[in-house]
Amino acid sequence: MTLSDFLERHLDEGAIVVRIERVQGSTPREAGATMIVSHHDSAGTIGGGQLEFHCLDLARDMLATGDQQRRVDLPLGPQMGQCCGGRVEVSLARATPADLAALRASEAKAAAGRPQVLIFGAGHTGKALARCLSLLPLAVTLVDDRPGQFADLPEAISCLHLDNPEQVLATAHAGAAFIVLTHSHALDYRLAEAALLRGDAAYVGMIGSATKRARFEASFRRRHPGSAALTRLTCPIGGSDVHDKRPEVIAALTAAELVRWLLGEKAAFAGKDATAPEKGRAAHDAAA
């Protein structure tokens, strides 16, 4: 449930918008982090721990007393007993229809700007990965050429049944991520090759072994001699230091990898400098 959905449900009975307005030093959440508090429930988080518990108490006291607004300046170490030790300024205000409209607009804008992730292959690992990513601020599409593959998936996942999955590559956004794990090695190779040749992907990953990667690289070099695009390929996905091959494990490792590439420092490179992700990966590998 989104914050706006929660607020709409509780607006008539009364709710408080709790928002971090300013931060100094180390804090559990950033400025703008928002929580909605009703009489008996809440949605969102401003960081958990004693800070959040204190603000929940303040918000429910406002609901009980009829107060409209409060603002608190809280040193987390001395006053809250939180070891991060920074300082936060928090506003609390009784929610209005205008707050609901603002939340709706903010959520729509955030959704439109989410990094695009295309997962090719709705097998065990593809579905496990889609479920992992459905919890994250990403626009995820699962693509398969077989009918009846999309049961029991979260509503947040877009599903495409295409006889030719390659056609969706032409409409993907610059800076998108492509994860290839279909039922066919030949299809995997075609999809990975097409994604690499776009030249603007933030991430191109293919499930497989060292042998599969070597065969793909040999084929790619024969077809595209002199191309540097192979340096952008991640295979195997999720790294090679965990040897558990259960779909859920591979999905968790790959999700963590994608978060770093799409939401971390490397995300600034997406679609701008074709060599930048490789520079970033080289620095990451050296640090590891």
What pLDDT does residue 288 have? 29
Q: Which residues, 6+ apart, have CB-to-CB distance to 60 below 8 Å?
A: 16, 37, 39
Residue 92 confidence (pLDDT): 98
Residue 98 phi, psi dihedral angles, 5° rounding: -65, -35
Instruction: State the architecture of 113-271 in CATH terms.
Output: 3-Layer(aba) Sandwich (3.40)
pLDDT for res 206: 98
Tens digit of pLDDT per residue, the chain (288 long)? Answer: 899 999 999 999 999 999 999 999 988 999 999 999 999 999 999 998 889 999 999 999 999 999 999 999 988 876 666 666 789 999 999 999 999 999 999 999 999 999 999 999 999 999 999 999 999 999 999 999 999 999 999 999 999 999 999 999 999 999 999 999 999 999 999 999 999 999 999 999 999 999 999 999 999 999 999 999 999 999 999 998 999 999 999 999 999 999 999 998 766 554 444 333 443 333 333 332
Q: Give the pLDDT of residue 268.
A: 53
CATH code 3.40.50.720 region(s) in the chain: 113-271
Q: What is the helix (H) or strand (E) element at residue 22, kind and residue range?
A: strand 16-24
Name every residue whose Cβ is closer than 8 Å to that of residue 71 and which is 6 or more positions away in sequence. Answer: 21, 89, 90, 91, 92
How many other CB atoms are there within 10 angstroms of residue 210's CB atom? 10
Q: Tally DSSP H helices, then E strands, for the chain.
A: 8, 11
Strands 42-44 and 69-75: unpaired
Are the C-beta atoms of residues 58 and 68 closer than 8 Å to each other?
Answer: no
- Please report the pLDDT score of residue 284 as a whole number: 35
